Amino acid sequence: MTKTAVKHIVKINTEMCKGCGLCVAYCTKKMLLESEHLNKAGYHYAEPGDMDLCSGCMICTLVCPEVVIEVYDDDE
């Protein structure tokens, strides 16, 4: 898979994530993954995989019910 021009950084507040898996399912680049670890609340939280794949399409933030995903333009 080719890498995108502008780089993006995806931050997920894993402690507040409820592991619903929606971002994982809808990530246009399939780069978000479900962790096999549980957070304190007992959920398999989501975590970014290969950040370079991120296109910054914001779909993940659109579907996240918990508003725990932040996407940044990595401008340097």
Partner 1 sequence: MKIKNPWPKYYKKDVVTHYCPGCGHGIVHRIVAEVLEELDLGKRTICVNPAGCAVLAYLYFDFDVIESAHGRGTAIATGVKRSRPDLFVFTYQGDGDLSAIGTAETIHSANRGENITVIFINNAVYGMTGGQLAPTTLINMKTTTTPLGRDPKYDGYPLHITDVVAQFPGVVYAERVACDGPAGIRKTKKAITNAFQTQVDGLGYSIVEVLSPCPTNWKMTPVDSFKWVTETMMKEFPTGVLTDKRSKKK
Partner 2 sequence: MLLKLLIAGSGGQGVLTMGNVLGNAAMLDDYFVTFLPSYGAAMRGGTANCTLCISDEEVASPVASTPDMLVAMNQPSLMAFISRLEAGGQLLYNADLVDDVPERHDVDLFGVPVNRVGRELGSERAANMVMLGALVKMTKIIKIETVFKSIEMMMGSKKKLAESSMKALQAGYDGFPFS
Task: Check residue 44 for interaction with partner 2 (CB under 8 A).
Answer: no
Question: Does residue number 58 form part of the binding site for ligand SF4 (CB under 6 A)?
Answer: yes
Of 5 and 40, CB closest to partner 2: 40
- CB atoms closer than 10 angstroms to residue 12: 21
Residue 38 near partner 2 by CB under 8 A = yes
Q: Are 12 and 72 within 8 A, CB to CB?
A: no
Residue from 7, 21, 33, 35 that binds ligand SF4 (CB under 6 A)?
21
Q: Which does 54 bind (CB under 5 to 8 A by kind): partner 2, partner 1, ligand SF4, none?
A: ligand SF4
CA distances to 1, 6, 32, 41, 43 from 53, in Å? 8, 10, 10, 29, 25
